[in-house]
Amino acid sequence: MREILLRPHMHKFNAFKDFAEEFAPGERDLVLTNEYIYDPLIKDCGLACKFVFQEKFGTGEPSEEMITDLFAAIDPKSYDRVIAIGGGAILDIGKLLSLSRNGSVHDLFFKLVDVVPEKEIIAIPTTCGTGSEVTNISVAIVRDENGKTTKLGLVSDLIIPGTVCLIPEFLKTLPYSPFASSAIDALIHAVESYLSPSRATMTSELFGVRAMELILEGFRKIDEEGPEARFGYLDEFLTAACYAGVAFLQAGCATVHAMSFPLGGTYHVPHGEANYALFGKVLEKYDKIDPNGKLADFKKTVSRILGGSEKDAVANLSALTEKILHLKPLCEYGFKEEDIEVFADSVLKNQQRLVINSYVPLTRELIVEIYRETYK
């Protein structure tokens, strides 16, 4: 049984200025962030750091080309510490900026060179979804040997950030739709790690259940009071995302993530939305194939939090998330019917680290069935 009890030193601050007073960022610090985060919340602190804005190198999720261009623009000798302030893309790139550059980005993701830590990294999440601040993975869209794009994860315990700072005020910069997809993504992390048949641990269960409780209670508030209710619950959502990250660091994600990666890699669907598009259907299949065992415990947890019967727990969960964010069919993201077979093969070829954590055996037939039923 593999357990990594929290490696990062965890901090929580009410505002960025409080972080700046304690950590004193200076000339030898590289701050990777977004300009829309920097302008309202960081600029007035007047820090002497080197600031780099991800969007100057491309938009959307990190790609092999984006990271390569970013690396070319930043001299590794110009900084001693990386401060990554942003969503999953920023945090994942920040992890790479903390490594020795002993090969290309392609070499790193295809395991042709070793992962060698070189710089200290401080991770400050500004979304309530990825949990990347506490995990051992950096995800990017890369090109395989045939030149086709796919999403791959660089996995190494050596890239877990040494320091994590949670600052709820950063969530105020997040519009409602990306906030909702981020929070649903965190819920999926908690659920997939909880149901993992091979890697679940005491730590993953403890943090996963608490993440579910916080997120679902927040969703109930939003359902009852409207989207503005989230602003009174930002601390809890940010904490829940971190807890869910701890859970999936221990137990791993599974079917939903394995099947969403080709969707994100091919059609550049935001990570949280890609996961959400598949989440309800995957749970529905789990419940049909093996409703007992760990899934029965999961349904007890959901019914305890949301009310209703255990029998209806999966349906009630889907109904609540639909109220939080409308569920789109895959075709609205550009997914085509001919992608069903191609993506199924890609999942089995490229995502085995996730496939092995599936609650039920993830056969090609089942993958095709899920894609087909979420297509329209």
- What is the secondary structure of 57-115 as a DSSP string? G-SSS-BHHHHHHHHHHS-GGG-SEEEEEESHHHHHHHHHHTB---S-HHHHHTTSS--
Q: The domain 176-375: what is its CATH number?
A: 1.20.1090.10
Q: At 47, which helix (H) or strand (E)?
A: none
The pLDDT tens digits for 56-84 are: 999 888 999 999 999 999 999 999 999 99
pLDDT for position 265: 85
CA gap 122, 85 in Å, rounded: 8
Q: Who contacts 336 (Cβ-Cβ below 8 Å, separation ≥6)?
A: none
Fold of 9-170: Rossmann fold (3.40.50)
pLDDT for position 376: 92
Pairing state between β 163-166 and 120-125:
parallel
pLDDT for position 361: 95
Are the beta carbons of 256 and 197 closer than 8 angstroms?
no
Q: How far is CA 306 from the centre of its chain?
A: 24
- Tell me if residue 30 falls in helix, strand or coil: strand
- Successive 10-residue mean pLDDT values, the chain, 376 residues: 66 96 97 97 97 94 94 96 96 97 93 96 96 94 81 91 96 95 97 90 91 98 97 97 93 95 90 96 98 95 96 98 98 97 95 95 97 97
Q: Who contacts 73 (Cβ-Cβ below 8 Å, separation ≥6)?
A: 52, 57
pLDDT for position 2: 53
pLDDT for position 6: 60
Q: Which sequence spans correspond to the domains of the chain?
A: 9-170, 176-375
pLDDT for position 144: 78
Q: Which two tokens stand for residue 103?
A: 């090969």
CA gap 23, 55 in Å, rounded: 26
The pLDDT tens digits for 111-145 are: 999 999 999 999 999 999 989 999 999 999 998 77
CA gap 369, 60 in Å, rounded: 29
Are the beta carbons of 156 and 319 closer than 8 angstroms?
no
pLDDT for position 4: 55
Flag whether the pTM goes above 0.85.
Answer: yes
